Structure 1
Amino acid sequence: MGLSVVQGFTKSLAMTVLSEIGDKTFFAAAILAMRHPRRHVLSGCLGALIVMTILSAVVGWAAPNLLSRKWTHHITTMLFLGFGLRSLWDAFNDVEAEDLAVVEKELNADFRCNSTEAKESYKDDDDDLKKKGRPFLTQFFSPISLKAFTITFFGEWGDKSQLATIGLAAEENPLGVVLGGILGQALCTAAAVLGGKSLATQISEKIVALSGGILFIIFGIQSLLSTVESFY
């Protein structure tokens, strides 16, 4: 049991770091941290990624109970190989080179929209009326944290890192996958928030994509060469 947890932890940590570094949510966290208090951005982004990691691991853990173990094993193998080949293709074709510009453009548009709305809302100086008019969640959580949470959560939904976590949890110990995924997300998010945009612009997306592609292919080959029974 201990060895399976360590194996799941190691694979999940490596996969998460190589999937999230240079990802759109990484850039979003870096840009948000330049405009808002870092602690709110970090808590919101990391909270979303932790929830997503746990949900994905639960889905992966339940998959063998919904499908036969043989089909789960084959689907996971194809996912790893498919993601690996896609990452290599992206690396050699610079598909993700525009990610930073795209994310920054979207956030700039959202920021201008929110600024206009904020100026209009500030006309009313009655604090009690403001509090009553706030959405329920913003009375307990920072609006910046909620914004960072929402952007990150929906940005990760259906992303290859989420699907890969589901596949990994279907074959490895789910606890190890969750722990490794959370640590990897924490490291990447902290780097994005603390390093800011300067770190994001210095990252070689090609090297990250190549490394991630190779890692996914290694996982896929290992899964392909292993018997279904060896994972359960």
Structure 2
Amino acid sequence: MSSVVQGFTKSLAMTVLSEIGDKTFFAAAILAMRYPRRLVLAGCLSALIVMTILSAVVGWAAPNLISRKWTHHITTLLFFVFGLWSLKDAIFGDGDDEELAEVEEKLNADLKANSESTKNNSKADDDVKKEKRPFLVQFFSPIFLKAFSINFFGEWGDKSQLATIGLAADENPFGVVLGGIAGQALCTVLAVVGGKSLASQISEKIVALSGGILFIVFGIQSFLSPVES
């Protein structure tokens, strides 16, 4: 039970500090300003849950492919690397405004392309039609698919995904999954409900600094912990 709690708390803290102010956080906030919030929330959260489970499964399977000793050392190294990476972003990063502008510009270009292909349709009328559809049918709407794909592919290969894999290889994978999902749910709800105003008020430097320190603490703890056979 203690291993599950430890995996949960580590995963929760790591996820929150990795995802708040991340590109997928900004994307969820901006999408929620343009489309029905429940569809954006469902799409974003579904993608992040799937990504968390996949990452934990990869991490859980890693010790069966590589020796426990090597997975432990690789995980320890990853924690230090991601910690230094986050500290570098905190000290030398460009800040929130540029990342927010980059995400907004990309979404604006996508929105413009979509509006040109459907220029004779009113967005308001389209939203009304979607509201009248059965709930499950809405899950296959372009809004849900857009939110899902942006978050899923936005997280693919990100340091939070790699850190989740490493954490699941060294901690209880069930606890890592629960903590990751809880952290993703918290961040996604904040992004969708708070919107762009909340995203613009978050100091990415402080979050990156906190995340960097947390990763290094995890690395030191992992380095000092004995390798489980």
Q: Structure 2 length normalisation: TM-score?
A: 0.90
Distance 1:32 1:211, change over 3 A: same
Q: Is the 8 A contact 2:58 2:165 kept in 1?
A: yes
Q: Deviations over 1:50-93 (max 9, x none)?
A: 00000000000000001111111111011000000010011011
| Pairs aligned (count) | 215
Query: Structure 1: how far apart are the matches of 2:150 and 2:157?
Result: 13
Superposed CA deviations along residues 1-45 of structure 1, whole A, max 9, x for unmatched, are x11100000000000000000000000000000100000000000
Alpha-carbon separation, structure 2, partners of 1:152 and 1:219: 26
- Answer whether contact 2:59 2:167 (CA < 8 A) is retained: yes
Relative to structure 1, is the Cα distance of residues 68 and 96 closer, same or farther in structure 2, using a 3 angstrom cutoff? Answer: farther
The TM-score normalised by the length of structure 1 is 0.89
Distance 1:12 1:155 in 2: 19
Residue aligning to 2:126: none
Matching residue's letter, 1:105: E
Mapped partners of 2:6, 2:205: distance in 1: 27
Q: Give the residue type in structure 1 aligned to 2:44.
A: C
Q: Tell me which stretches of 4 or more aligned residues in structure 1 moved more than 6 Å.
A: none
> What is the CA–CA distance in structure 1 between the aligned matches of 2:214 and 2:170, rounded to whole Å?
16
Separation in structure 1 between the aligned mates of residue 137 and residue 155 of structure 2, nearest angstrom: 23
Structure 1, unmatched stretches of 5+, are: 123-136
Q: Match of 1:179? A: 178
1:116 aligns with 2:116: yes
One-letter code aligned to 1:153: F
Task: Give the aligned partner of residue 125 of structure 1.
Answer: none
Q: Structure 1 residues 68 and 180 mapped into 2: Cα distance closer, same or farther (>3 Å)?
A: same
SS at match of 1:119: coil
Aligned residue in 1 for 2:40: 41
1:106 aligns with 2:106: yes
Write the distance in 1 (CA, Å) between the matches of 2:139 and 2:203. Answer: 39
CA distance in 2, matches of 1:170, 1:225: 16
CA distance in 1, matches of 2:53, 2:35: 27
Deviation of the 1:119 alpha carbon: 2.2
Structure 2 residue matching 1:228: 3-state secondary structure: coil
1:138-153 mapped onto 2 (5 Å cutoff): 141-153=140-152
**1:10 alignment partner, SS class:** helix
Question: Counterparts of 2:203 and 2:186 in 1: how far apart (Å)?
Answer: 17
CA distance in 2, matches of 1:181, 1:82: 20
**Cross-structure match for 1:88:** 87
Tell me what 1:133 maps to.
none
Secondary structure, aligned partner of 2:118: helix
Where structure 2 has 5 or more consecutive residues not aligned to the other structure, the ranges are 122-135
* AA partner of residue 49 (structure 2): I
Q: CA deviation at 1:138?
A: 7.3
- Residue 206 (str. 1) matches residue 209 (str. 2): no
Hey, what's the Cα distance between the residues in 1 that align with 2:221 and 2:139? 46
Residue type matched to 2:117 in 1? E
Per-residue deviation, 1:96? 4.6
Give the Cα separation in 1 of the matches to 2:79 and 2:226: 16
